[in-house]
Structure 1
Amino acid sequence: MISDAQFAQTAIRAFTRQDQQISDLQTRLSSGVNDPRVSADPARAMELSALRDLRSDLSTQTDIGRIAADRLAMTDSVLSEVSDGVRELYRISLQANNDTLTREAHGALRVQAETLRNTLLAAANATDPQGRPLFSGNAPGPAFVNAPDGVRYQGDNSATAIQMGRNTLMQTGLPGGQVFGDGQDSVFALLDDVITGLSDPVLGARDTVRANQQATLQLGIQDDPITFDIAGPEGRTLVQLPLSAGSEAAQIAAINSVSAQTGVQAQAAPDGVGIRLSAAGDMTLSNQTSPMGNLASRPLVTLQQLDSDGTTTSDPVALRPAHLERQELLARSSAKVGHMAEMHAAVGALGSTLDSRLEQIAETRLTVDQAMSRLNDVNVAETITRLQTLLLTQQASQQSFVKIAGQSLFDYLR
């Protein structure tokens, strides 16, 4: 049999458990949060843990994405400045392609081109808010350096990228070699050529040199041969001439080897200086290039008109190397304007793609937050119903305990 003391202790422990359950429910209602203990609901706890891990990963992606967005915004700003600079370069090339300009005007254009070169070099070596170069790829240090032979690219020509998610790689920049070019194709080589074209001795040279019937041809000396177009009464063709010292005989032979195609003949000048050219009409020389790929930075060909008795009638006129021809510089400048517009648009597209990805992450985070809220937040209606049930149960239990505890042996014997 259970004694009155044992019965009372059992009832008190039951009442205590009910009080604790009621207190817990009241606490949840006041805080609005479910019991965080794993033991309270293991399945819910596991789901919450997975959602917290996912949210942490999304937060990390967001932080990385915002840094990348700042980098792309900086790149976009720099390329906007560079695009303006390249348009300025085109304007300089266009104005330089004007034979009526004075030497002072050409000198002013040269100063503008030199200033622009420094400005674009500084832009090409710009860094992002983290201090990393924008255009050197994954290589450390400045993307471009001033070398004796001009501005040289020293990046690794790779496109920077970040990992956003397990299977998502987002590009965060463009290779400097792609944006500014490298070697002779770079915007800096073009600027150097424009500056050279605005400086002596190239400034006074012409894209095409002409003479009638007789002229003296003088050639510079260098190790590599040159080629140029020679035209006369019979037509036009390309001729290659050696320029090494003592090669005058080979030069005359090369010109005479195509005389049937041009109508231009060559012989040693009577005074031993230069080569005498003769034709039954006009002669023109143009398109001076190097078959070895070494582009000359100075004129190597000059032509001087002679009268019928062989005396000079004008000053010698130098021939511009083909890559320094005014029309060529203008065409290259125009191409750079279009190219830089494409690069600017490409960076804009990368920024737009990254913004879309960040929006997707934000939407996913919102969904995760809502799921976590549903798991964390207490169900008010359900909890109130359960609390009311516990209160009624407690009240009934207490009434039963009082009634049973108040009975005596005589109450059972009646």
Structure 2
Amino acid sequence: MTLGTSLFHSLNTAAFGRLDTKIADLQTRISEGRNDPRPSSDLGRAARLSAAEDQRALLARFSTTIDRATERLTLTDTTLAEISTVTQRLGEIALRGASASTPDTERVSLATELSTLRKTLVDLGNARDATGRPLFSGYRAGVDPFVEGPHGVSYQGDGGKHRLRVSESARIATGLNGAEVFMGIPDATGARRDLFGMIDDLARTLGRGGNAMVEATRAKGALTLTPDLTRTAADWGLTIEGPQGTARIEVALVAGALGPAVEAINAQAAATGVTATLDEAGTGLVLSAAGSVGVSRLSVSPARGGIIADAGGVPMLAEGRGADALVAGLRNAAEHIADRRAEVGALGAAAERQGELVTRRQTELAGVMAGLEDLDVVEAVTRLQELMLTRQVSQQSYVKIGQSTLFDWLR
């Protein structure tokens, strides 16, 4: 290839252009204080920076998730606080209702207030978070967890706990399900019951004739017990107390067939001193003894509220459903709600600790990324000076060579 003046000028012009580009780019990097982000400038640094960017995005998602969990737990705690207030008032109503000195007019007022509190509890049980998800439905997001039905309030949720991932290896529960909060409360007998069932029982004791309903009764010589049987077989239980002692009777009964109960009671006659026969209608048990006869601790499964038997004109309730038992049961309910609120508080503290951990990781990662992204200004200025000096020397050489002729070189 022949090297002529035109080609000489073209090559030098291109070289100066590339040098000017490098200088301008380096000046930009210095003004921004950032390294060249292009992978071609440093493959190793670019790979580390890409991994750090992925980690930063992941931590940002964890931080957002923790904020959501904290918000939901805070709302759950607030809701439980309101439920606790209502439950404490229910206990006060139960205490007044159990008192024989409470006048009928006050009992009517208490029943009216009880109805309002019951509706309030249903509304609180169906509370939702900012996204519209129920607080107490478990994994079932599209339903109201508590629904009114012909047999009272039923739970439509499940036993799951909504959880969110807050780190690579950890998930945190964002609340409790309705079964934990409302459906597993120990009553006066230690059996697990739902809060709404207790309220319905309390409403019955406050209603007309409610103060006459009992869980135990006693008569001298004989007592006629008429259980409220249905066409569906049910498991019945009762405690018989006679002059010889006490025995627990467990028997399956269906309407129109009291024979098994007679046999079961008579089988314990030696232990209790009580014998049983059918009344004239065949719907009641005549319990006889040479002394007093007592009946208590009635139970039926499946469980039923309200009056389940008549004992010589005295309406009888299942064990744990009378006025005195409800005082203890609702006291347990208040303690149960307080325990559930403490559980939510512990979950909130765990979310807070996880949030602090993510924040520390974000701070450490920011330092690492700063080391990868931030420019070493001293080194960059030195490099800039070198490039500018190179350009100056090159331009001087170009001018000098451009002014020379062949005759200058021949001399």
Q: Does 1:217 align with 2:214?
A: no
What secondary structure sits across from 2:297 in the alignment? strand
1: CA distance, partners of 2:385 / 2:139: 66
CA RMSD of aligned residues (A): 3.5
CA 2–317 in structure 1, closer or farther in 2 if over 3 Å, else same: closer
TM-score, length-scaled by structure 2: 0.82
2: CA distance, partners of 1:33 / 1:216: 96
> Please, which moves more after superposition, 17-26 or 163-172?
163-172
CA 266–373 in structure 1, closer or farther in 2 if over 3 Å, else same: closer
Q: Please give the per-residue CA displacement for 1:372-404, whole angstroms capped at 9, x wherever unaligned.
A: 333333221111111112222233333344445
TM-score, length-scaled by structure 1: 0.82
1:384 matched residue in structure 2: 381
Q: Report the AA paired with residue 229 of structure 1.
A: T
Q: Report the AA paired with residue 106 of structure 1.
A: R
1: CA distance, partners of 2:4 / 2:32: 42
2: CA distance, partners of 1:357 / 1:302: 61
1:286 matched residue in structure 2: 296
1: CA distance, partners of 2:41 / 2:257: 101
Q: Is the 8 A contact 1:216 1:269 kept in 2?
A: no
Q: Is the 8 A contact 2:236 2:299 kept in 1?
A: yes
Matching of residues 2-401 of structure 1 within 5 Å: 6-139=7-140, 140-181=142-183, 185-211=193-219, 213-214=220-221, 217=224, 219-223=226-230, 226-239=236-249, 244-245=255-256, 258=268, 260-263=270-273, 282-290=292-300, 292-295=301-304, 297-298=306-307, 300-303=309-312, 317-401=314-398
Q: Which runs of 5+ in 1 are unaligned?
A: 304-315
CA 96–19 in structure 1, closer or farther in 2 if over 3 Å, else same: same
2: CA distance, partners of 1:231 / 1:394: 115
What displacement does 1:116 show? Answer: 1.4
Q: Is the 8 A contact 1:202 1:320 kept in 2?
A: no
Q: Is the 8 A contact 1:161 1:171 kept in 2?
A: yes
2: CA distance, partners of 1:269 / 1:126: 52
Q: Is the 8 A contact 2:228 2:308 kept in 1?
A: no
1:310 matched residue in structure 2: none
Q: Please give the per-residue CA displacement for 1:282-322, whole angstroms capped at 9, x wherever unaligned.
A: 554332223x444351152334xxxxxxxxxxxx5444432
What secondary structure sits across from 2:211 in the alignment? coil
Q: Report the AA paired with residue 309 of structure 2.
A: L
CA 229–103 in structure 1, closer or farther in 2 if over 3 Å, else same: farther
1: CA distance, partners of 2:100 / 2:160: 43
Q: Is the 8 A contact 2:214 2:315 kept in 1?
A: yes
Q: Please give the per-residue CA displacement for 1:236-292, whole angstroms capped at 9, x wherever unaligned.
A: 334568785585x9877766665554455678899x9988777665554332223x4
What secondary structure sits across from 2:199 in the alignment? helix
Q: Report the AA paired with residue 169 of structure 1.
A: R
Q: Is the 8 A contact 2:298 2:317 kept in 1?
A: yes
What secondary structure sits across from 2:393 in the alignment? helix
CA 258–47 in structure 1, closer or farther in 2 if over 3 Å, else same: closer
> Please, which moves more after superposition, 189-198 or 365-374?
365-374
CA 168–257 in structure 1, closer or farther in 2 if over 3 Å, else same: closer
2:188 matched residue in structure 1: none
CA 283–69 in structure 1, closer or farther in 2 if over 3 Å, else same: same
Aligned residues: percent identity?
33
CA 182–265 in structure 1, closer or farther in 2 if over 3 Å, else same: closer
Q: Is the 8 A contact 2:76 2:135 kept in 1?
A: yes
Q: Report the AA paired with residue 58 of structure 1.
A: L
CA 394–294 in structure 1, closer or farther in 2 if over 3 Å, else same: closer
2: CA distance, partners of 1:251 / 1:13: 112
Q: Report the AA paired with residue 179 of structure 2.
A: G
Q: Is the 8 A contact 1:201 1:299 kept in 2?
A: no
What secondary structure sits across from 1:356 in the alignment? helix
CA 157–218 in structure 1, closer or farther in 2 if over 3 Å, else same: closer
2: CA distance, partners of 1:173 / 1:40: 50
What secondary structure sits across from 2:164 in the alignment? strand
CA 225–361 in structure 1, closer or farther in 2 if over 3 Å, else same: closer
Q: Which runs of 5+ in 2 are unaligned?
A: 186-191
What displacement does 1:216 show? Answer: 5.2
What secondary structure sits across from 2:198 in the alignment? helix
CA 2–174 in structure 1, closer or farther in 2 if over 3 Å, else same: same
| Aligned length in residues | 399
